[in-house]
Amino acid sequence: MYRKHKKQNEEDINTCDCKYNANDPESACVESCLNVLTSTKCTPGYCPCSIYCKNQRFHKYEYTKLKLFKTEGRGWGVLADESIKAGQFIIKYCGEVISWKEVKRRSQAYENQGLKDAFVISFNGHESIDAAKKGSLARFINHSCQPNCETRKLTVLGEIRVGIFSKQDIPVGAELAYDYNFEWYDGAKVHCLCSAAGCSEFMGAKSRGFQH
Ligand SMILES: C[S@@+](CC[C@H](N)C(=O)[O-])C[C@H]1O[C@@H](n2cnc3c(N)ncnc32)[C@H](O)[C@@H]1O
């Protein structure tokens, strides 16, 4: 069972004080925006930059172009299908929001079903996102011990969400990867095949609840 979106109260909406400059349309809600600085997405209809706001890509599903490909030994993986700038929002990690209790129950059920891939990402002390059955392309992004991407928590319409962001400039055709450490439930059982220098051998070996 997963929960529905909470309805955001109007008084809880954080409005920035950016001003849209018609001579520089690319500057609407970028680095200096109060909401960007506090990892909060501007709420449609409440941003002073209205349709020009650059801080609403998350809930408008404006994702970076990506491509699925078959890796050797790591199942499916995801490639950049356009060049990506450092710090760019790439894609939302979508799935079912479930409690830790449910994570434990499902992990056992998935193991019994022989499902070895881990799709559960933890985003606060008591809830996680399970993308095993449904989700965006983000669910196919593999782990690397020397990643070019990272997960970031954001406040979107009053709720915590998880997005994948680039850590560096990424050229077209490069595989996207982030470090599963601290995020994945039960990942320590899987040998890492990321082939990065200094690879830690197991995925998520340091994560909460993991045991060697
Ligand atoms: C979120 S899924 C990623 C998509 C997955 N490759 C697929 O085909 O569905 C996570 C799973 O991918 C595999 N995987 C991801 N990164 C890996 C790595 N560095 N080494 C080995 N397997 C990896 C593991 O089976 C892991 O449980």
DSSP assignments along 106-163, one per residue:
HHHHHHHTT-----EEE-SSSEEEE-SSS--GGGGPEE-SS-SEEEEEEEETTEEEEE
What radius of gyration do the chain's Cα atoms show?
Answer: 18
Distance in Å, CA 88 to ligand 1 centroid = 23
Q: Could you identify the atom of ligand 1 that is nearest to the CA of residue 77?
A: 6
72, two tokens = 């050797």
Q: In whole angstroms, give the CA distance from residue 21 to residue 24.
A: 5
206, two tokens = 């340091």
Quick check: CB of 202 below 6 Å from ligand 1?
no
Give the residue-averaged pLDDT of 79-88.
Answer: 95
The position carrying tokens 């070996």 is 205
pLDDT over 50 (residue 8): yes
Quick check: CB of 143 below 6 Å from ligand 1?
yes
Q: Could you identify the atom of ligand 1 that is nearest to the CA of residue 118?
A: 27
184, two tokens = 């994945």
Give the residue-averaged pLDDT of 1-17.
Answer: 76
What's CA 179's distance to the chain center, in Å?
11
From 162, 24, 165, select the one nearest 84 (Cα to Cα): 165
Quick check: CB of 118 below 6 Å from ligand 1?
yes
pLDDT over 70 (residue 98): yes
From 100, 122, 107, 129, select the one nearest 206 (Cα to Cα): 122
Report the share of the chain in percent with pLDDT over 90: 46
Contacts (Cβ under 8 Å, ≥6 apart) of 153: 39, 123, 124, 160, 161, 162
pLDDT-derived band of residue 203, with 50, 70 and 90 as boundaries?
Answer: confident
Residues β-bridged to residue 76: 70
Tell me, which fold does domain 61-212 have in CATH?
Beta-clip-like (2.170.270)
Across 20-34, 51-65, 84-98, 165-179, which has the greatest mean pLDDT?
Answer: 165-179
Quick check: CB of 193 below 6 Å from ligand 1?
yes
Identify the DSSP state of 29.
Answer: T
Structural domain boundaries of the chain?
12-56, 61-212
At 90, which helix (H) or strand (E)?
Answer: strand 89-92
Quick check: CB of 195 below 6 Å from ligand 1?
no
Q: Please, what is the average pLDDT of the chain?
A: 85
